Structure 1
Amino acid sequence: MEWRCRGITWSGGAPGLRWQGGKVSPLAYGQRLAFRAVGPRRCAGARGNPCPLEAVVPGRSTGGRCAECARLDRAHSVAADTFLDDPQPYRVYLAWFGPGMTKVGITAEARGEARLLEQGAVTFSWLGRGPLMAARRTEEVLRQTLGVPDRVAYERKRAARHALPPASVRAGEVEELHRSARAVGGWTETLEPLEFAPRDHVEAFGLDGLPPLAGTVFELVDGGVVTGRLLAAAGPDLHLLDPGGRCLALDTRLMGGWALRSAGEVGAGADGAEFSVPVTPVAAPEPESAQGELF
């Protein structure tokens, strides 16, 4: 039987790997992972449906979909502003990913915190609830008025997780943003405002004591092995300690569409498998300018 990956899921507030057919394998921090990618990588399909062409997609694509399935997947997407008549209630949230990295977003109320876990939000608070279009307008007003983005780059999120300030500092930044958002006029006429109540995901993500980030997986390749101890998971990312002692981040969106086998099925066995997929090292910090010595 071929196990074709569909990426990560945050079901019940805990991470797991999804497989074609709907099966989910729970992930536990501290467990050892060792798998080999078997190509070619096939399109992951759209909205739970398999790609009718089983199209081959590039290893570096985080979407893992062919052009047609990518179009279909976004055809009813709230995030893409293509689904505007959903009658269910929505919530506006304020999320924190690292020092100076906050964003405003919306999610269906029925999904609870799932959207925040999927994005890797370390701390967040709800701001308001109500109809979809009112939530969308509020999101846009706050973006324009407060200069808060609706997206934060994954690269910045990953790096910030390895040097987090105390929980009080994290919550303090969100509280300040919440206070500023409440002071913006107009939106409370169409949405029910919600009091500041910080929620922290450090424990859920396993981020306490995470060692410095040494690199990120660039792509999976046919025959390439990923092996290491799972230290943490946040959003789509797995943080692994490889056999060489490096802390590496693997974006599970790169796994979608690959058939994965235990590394022990081929070659030296799981205990002897070596990490052999391309990794981009974290750039060393630039030395401080010596300009002050010139004056």
Structure 2
Amino acid sequence: MAQAWKCAGLRWSAGGPELVWDGGRRSALTWGKRVAFGVAEGGVRTCVGARGHACPVRAAVPGRSTGARCEECARLDRAHSVAADTIADDPRPYRVYLAWFGPGMLKVGITAEERGSARLLEQGAVCFSWLGVGPLMAARRTEELLRAALGVPDRIPYADKRAVRAVLPGTEAERAAEIAELHARAVALGGWPESLTPAPLQTVDHVRVFGLAELPTAVGAVGELVAGGAVSGRLVAAAGPDLHLVTGGGDTVVLDTRLMTGWELVPAGSEEVSVPVRQFKAAPPGVQSGLF
């Protein structure tokens, strides 16, 4: 019987994207590399636990869940999350950032200064600029100020991000234009917390890091993994948790690696994708409605 592995998700390092496995092993991902795995026959997806602790009941979780946590573990994980606004006494400095994912898709967010740009890579931000740095609550108030005064959201749905990656503006200047405009509007606002130090506009572009230049248009995204199913394809790009894979049939399909967690994975016995794939609504002409 083939050895089974459990994936802990995709991580971004200085060398690029890596798949992390339980036990600490990492698999570096490079463009052109074949990504192939199967899901154990008869397998059940189980909760990954919270805050480094295993789920006490090893609860089954739905295949479509990107969190791979049962209700109780999800509650525990979120209770200790900065994003949930439940931690007010974190002494670390935080940065406020502006991120751009495609035309008209900008968001504001915060991240611990010590994490550098890791949060932006994890979210799949095509380009970004820092807006300021200060204590956690000052960063949080600045984020809320932009949301209220300028209507800037703090979340962009992953489906929207995926839909535009193959048709992004061609130059860094074009991609940075909306960030520059929003940065100027933000610094002109009154009411900034005094303890937050503004940062000058300095746009960082991730198109080359993600491999998005001349990216083939994806026809769909893996909806979920299933017992006995398999995924196989050649890696052409990665952004946030997503891998863009060219399958044996020549189609490009997006795999959200968060769907891999909680499953026992084995070497692929097939060169094809044999799990449910959701076709994108704006598929190119001539694409069949049933992919696999």
1:240 maps to 2:245: yes
Residue 173 (structure 2) pairs with residue 168 (structure 1): yes
Deviations 1:23-73 (A, max 9, x none): 221111110111101221111111222222222111111110111111111
Instruction: Give, in angstroms, the shift of residue 12 of structure 1.
Output: 2.5
What is the percent sequence identity of the aligned residues? 64
- Alignment check: 8 A CA contact 1:206 1:231 kept: yes
Matching residue of 1:268: none
Gaps of 5+ in 1: 265-271, 288-295
The residue type paired with residue 274 of structure 1 is: E
Pairs within 5 Å for 1:1-295: 1-12=3-14, 14-38=16-40, 39-165=43-169, 166-187=171-192, 189-264=194-269, 273-284=271-282
- Work out the CA distance in 1 between the residues paired with 2:214 and 2:220: 17
RMSD of the TM alignment (CA)? Answer: 1.6
> How far apart in 2 are the matches of 1:13 and 1:142?
33
Distance in 1 of aligned mates of 2:283 and 2:251: 18
Residues 118-152 of structure 1, C-alpha deviations (whole Å, 9 max, x = no match): 10000000000000000000000011101100000
Does structure 1 conserve the Cα–Cα contact (< 8 Å) formed by 2:97 and 2:108? yes
Q: Answer with 100-109 or 167-176: which moved more.
A: 167-176
Once residues 13 and 81 of structure 1 are traced to their aligned partners in structure 2, the CA distance between those partners, rounded to angstroms, is 32
Q: Which runs of 5+ in 2 are unaligned?
A: 286-292
1:174-223 deviations in whole A, cap 9, x for unaligned? Answer: 01110000000121522101100000111111111101110011100001
Aligned-partner Cα distance in 2 for 1:170–1:20: 37
Distance 1:286 1:237, change over 3 A: closer
Post-superposition Cα deviations, 1:47-106, rounded to whole Å, max 9, x if no partner, equal: 222222222111111110111111111111011111121000000000000000000000
Given that 1:3 and 1:20 are in contact with CA atoms closer than 8 Å, whether structure 2 keeps it comes out as yes
- Secondary structure of 1:187 counterpart: coil
Q: TM-score, normalised by structure 1?
A: 0.91
Number of residue equivalences? 280
Distance in 2 (alpha carbons) for counterparts of 1:13 and 1:110: 18
Equivalent position SS for 1:84: coil
